[in-house]
């Protein structure tokens, strides 16, 4: 029934929460690529639509991959989740995955058939992730390696999203300077990943590995702020490439101070649900940083700067 899918998205992939961040992510990616190419105009509706829809489906596939690789643990420790409790089945999710692939393939062919090669590359890594690179036990014993191998999907998705601009524009290779944006995507993925897995002691669950339980609350916040700082450094380098370094530096300093304040607030007391503030700050950081790296500079260049 349609209602079960509404419940599923609300619990596991809330569209109205993820949608704005994915929109900022995709629109800024094509805008940043356009700026590197030297254009002063916003990307057309067609590449923007394909970039957003493809990115949205990639992130949905990441959630579906989690459902498959975590099914045994969820059944044992988190039976309240939609798949273990029978709201939807893994067979249902396989059909959704197939639908995502079909839609992405159609979108790529519609915009620029050359995109299909990059699509295949990203799909391949997604499948390897869903299989835990055939080394689940080894990776589970190494949380940092596990996170790094899984966050590598972020620059791949970002690379494909930027390609929605530079491939239809006729470029044979990505514009120079794109690497900085991909590094931002990689480290920002770790900001979000660590931020959503920091909890107060009362909120920890048996069988759920969080960074606050693995490293302790203080070290988890330090690691999170370290990733925020790394992302800020690469974001500044990326902003240099599009002539937006000074405004970006001001924004990054404000956002870092806000993140540090949130981290201090979390550590101030072991209060239930306080870890949610870290997760929220990670989302705000991601949204504002992406917008300021691509979309906002391009809008200013087109409509404000003579």
What digits encode the pLDDT tens for the residues 207-259? 778 899 999 999 999 999 999 999 999 999 999 999 999 999 999 999 999 99
- Phi, psi dihedrals of residue 37, rounded to the nearest 5°: -75, -10
pTM above threshold 0.75: yes
Q: Which residue has the tokens 């590359």?
A: 121
What digits encode the pLDDT tens for the residues 150-197? 999 999 999 999 999 999 999 999 999 999 999 999 999 999 999 999
Q: Please say whether the dihedral angle defined by the alpha carbons of residues 221, 226, 229 and 230, taken in this order, is positive or negative.
A: negative
- What domains sit in the chain, N to C, each tagged with a CATH number? 1-29+43-170 (1.10.357.140), 176-306 (1.20.120)
What digits encode the pLDDT tens for the residues 50-93? 999 999 999 999 999 999 988 888 888 888 999 999 999 999 99
Distance CA 235, CA 233 (A): 5
pLDDT at position 299 is 87
pLDDT at position 225 is 97
Arithmetic mean of pLDDT, 33-44: 89
Contact 163, 35 (CB under 8 A): no
| Average per-residue pLDDT for the chain | 92
What digits encode the pLDDT tens for the residues 96-131? 999 999 999 999 999 999 999 999 999 999 999 888
How does 253-262 read in b/e, with b if 16+ C-beta sit within 10 Å?
A: eebbeebeeb
pLDDT at position 256 is 96
Distance CA 1, CA 4 (A): 6
């Amino acid at each position: 029934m349609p209602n079960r899918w509404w419940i599923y998205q609300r619990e596991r992939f809330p569209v109205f929460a993820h949608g704005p961040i994915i929109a900022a992510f995709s629109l800024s990616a094509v805008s940043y690529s356009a700026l590197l190419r030297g254009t002063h105009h916003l990307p057309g509706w067609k590449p923007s639509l394909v970039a957003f829809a493809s990115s949205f489906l990639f992130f949905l596939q990441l959630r579906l991959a989690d459902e498959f690789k975590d099914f045994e643990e969820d059944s044992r420790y988190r039976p309240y989740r939609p798949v273990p409790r029978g709201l939807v089945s893994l067979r249902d999710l396989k059909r959704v995955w197939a639908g995502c692939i079909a839609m992405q393939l159609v979108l790529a062919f519609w915009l620029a058939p050359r995109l299909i090669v990059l699509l295949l590359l990203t799909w391949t890594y997604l499948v390897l992730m869903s299989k835990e690179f055939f080394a689940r036990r080894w990776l589970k014993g190494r949380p940092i390696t596990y996170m790094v191998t899984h966050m590598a999907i972020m620059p791949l998705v970002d690379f494909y999203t930027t390609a929605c601009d530079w491939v239809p524009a006729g470029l044979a290779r990505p514009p120079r300077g794109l690497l900085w944006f991909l590094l931002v995507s990689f480290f920002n993925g770790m900001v979000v990943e660590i931020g959503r897995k920091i909890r107060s002691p009362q909120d920890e669950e048996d069988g759920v590995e969080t960074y606050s339980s693995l490293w302790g609350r203080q070290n988890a916040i330090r690691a999170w702020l370290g990733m925020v700082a790394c992302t800020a450094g690469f974001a500044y380098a990326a902003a240099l490439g599009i002539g937006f370094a000074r405004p970006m530096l001001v924004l990054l300093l404000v956002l870092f101070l806000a993140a540090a304040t949130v981290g201090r607030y979390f550590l101030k007391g072991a209060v239930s649900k306080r870890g949610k503030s870290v997760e929220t700050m990670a989302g705000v950081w991601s949204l504002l940083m992406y917008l300021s790296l691509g979309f906002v500079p391009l809008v200013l260049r087109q409509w404000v700067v003579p």
